[in-house]
Amino acid sequence: MNSGQIENNETVNKSLSSSGDQNVQEVVKTAHEELRQLMRQRADIMKRIGTIKQTIVGLANLFGGGILNDDLLELVDRKTSGRQPGFTRACRMVLMEAARPLGAREVCEQMQQKVPPVILHHKDPLASVTTVLNRLVEYGEAQSVVRENGRRAWQWVATSDDGGVEVSDEDDGVPSMPRGSTYL
């Protein structure tokens, strides 16, 4: 090859590389936008699932657990089969049934009362609970709040039909609802 052909090949290769980079960048940009959209949708779906679960738990507390069949009990993390619920499931159950925001230590205490075997297998239950509670916040299922004493607490999140976030703060465990809204 002579020097003219080498220079021409280098120019062609740079041109192809440049256009290839633009195509790759466009694909990455499109994938990034789609991933963000799907993550938002997942958060919305998790909030809606939380709302429905909390409504069902509130109705069961109000009218008795007998209104729920086995399948529904399992879906709302309340089935009392021989199998103990997992750690995350137990954290969800405690938050869902709480009438007020709970600190990590309170969640540990509730789990110890309701599902002791789940806590027994953890070297540092408080750290594990804190990690799970923070993940539930990331999933859109829980909300972190700061108490008057400056300590963090977590509460179950629910959404109303208009898309607004509602948090249960009723003493009877029934989710709070804005006027004129329904959850189901």
| Tally of domains within the chain | 1
Q: Is residue 25 part of a domain?
A: no
Contacts of 92 (CB under 8 A, 6+ apart): 53, 77, 136, 141, 156
CATH number at 122 reads: 1.10.10.10
Quick: pLDDT tens for 82-112. Answer: 444 588 888 988 998 888 999 999 999 999 9
Q: Is residue 134 part of a domain?
A: yes
pTM: 0.52
Residue 6 has what pLDDT? Answer: 57
Quick: pLDDT tens for 109-150. Answer: 999 998 888 888 788 999 999 999 999 998 888 999 999 999
Residue 162 has what pLDDT? Answer: 46
- For the segment 25-45, the average pLDDT, to the nearest whole number, is 89
Q: Is residue 58 part of a domain?
A: yes
Q: Which domain holds residue 155?
A: 47-167
Q: Is residue 15 part of a domain?
A: no
